[in-house]
């Protein structure tokens, strides 16, 4: 121990378990991720600055909750009468007040997370056949990432049966 060390403190801290990404019980690699790099404003949707502090805090709480599971898990979770927490539609919804942004890749599998009665977090996932495929510029595609494109407070993204 060094001249100014505290051996009691060291013993106390050594008693705490050390979390590890490689631990057998770690689910870190399976947890879904959220990416906001494609986020844009559409007249039918909102900017973050349009939402109240409480609404934004609620969104962050939901993202923290959603991030504890896989996207596949949320596709299976029921909400409301007949909906799912996460629905993936495939193509851009035909009955939408939103306009498909030009900067979103044509392979995008569009979908939404249901936040509350009318609120939705709209975006896309990459197709499963690209999952794990190396991109020519580096990195790998991940089908467990939800790319957020729109905030939809009033359920205007997919106006048909949801």
Decide if pLDDT at 158 tops 70. yes
Confidence of residue 96 (pLDDT cuts 50, 70, 90): very high
Distance of CA 155 to the CA centre of its chain: 18
Decide if pLDDT at 16 tops 50. yes
Percent of the chain with pLDDT over 90: 75
pLDDT tens digits, 34-93? 999 999 999 999 999 999 999 999 999 999 999 999 999 999 999 988 899 999 999 999
CA–CA dist 59, 42 (Å, integer): 19
Which residues are 88's β-sheet partners? 111
Select from 55, 73, 62 the least CA-distant residue to 34. Answer: 62
Contacts of 13 (CB under 8 A, 6+ apart): none
Select from 128, 153, 155 the least CA-distant residue to 141. Answer: 128
Decide if pLDDT at 156 tops 80. yes
Select from 99, 110, 124, 85 the least CA-distant residue to 45. Answer: 99
Task: Return the percent helix, strand and coil in the chain, to nearest 5.
Answer: 25, 20, 55
Give yes or no for a contact between 83 and 70, defined as CB atoms under 8 angstroms apart. no
Q: What is the pLDDT of residue 2?
A: 58
- The DSSP 8-state label assigned to residue 93 in this structure reads P
Give yes or no for a contact between 50 and 160, defined as CB atoms under 8 angstroms apart. no
pLDDT tens digits, 18-43? 777 778 878 888 999 999 999 999 99
Q: What is the pLDDT of residue 117?
A: 86
**Choice between 79 and 14, residue whose per-residue pLDDT is larger:** 79
CA–CA dist 157, 99 (Å, integer): 9
**Choice between 160 and 158, residue whose per-residue pLDDT is larger:** 158
């Amino acid at each position: 121990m060094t001249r100014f060390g505290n051996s009691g403190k060291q013993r106390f801290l050594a008693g705490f378990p050390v979390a590890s990404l490689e631990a057998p019980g770690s689910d870190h690699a399976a947890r879904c991720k959220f990416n906001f790099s494609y986020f844009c404003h559409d007249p039918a949707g909102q900017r973050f600055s349009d939402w109240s502090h409480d609404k934004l805090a609620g969104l962050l709480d939901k993202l923290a909750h959603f991030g504890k599971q896989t996207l596949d898990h949320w596709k299976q979770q029921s909400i409301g009468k007949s909906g799912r927490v996460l629905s993936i539609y495939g193509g851009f919804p035909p009955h939408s007040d939103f306009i498909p942004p030009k900067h979103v890749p044509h392979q995008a599998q569009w979908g939404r997370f249901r936040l509350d009665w009318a609120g939705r977090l709209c975006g896309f996932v990459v197709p499963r056949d690209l999952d794990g495929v190396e991109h020519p510029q580096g990195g790998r595609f991940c089908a467990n990432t939800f790319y957020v494109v729109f905030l939809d407070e009033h359920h205007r993204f997919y106006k048909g049966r949801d």
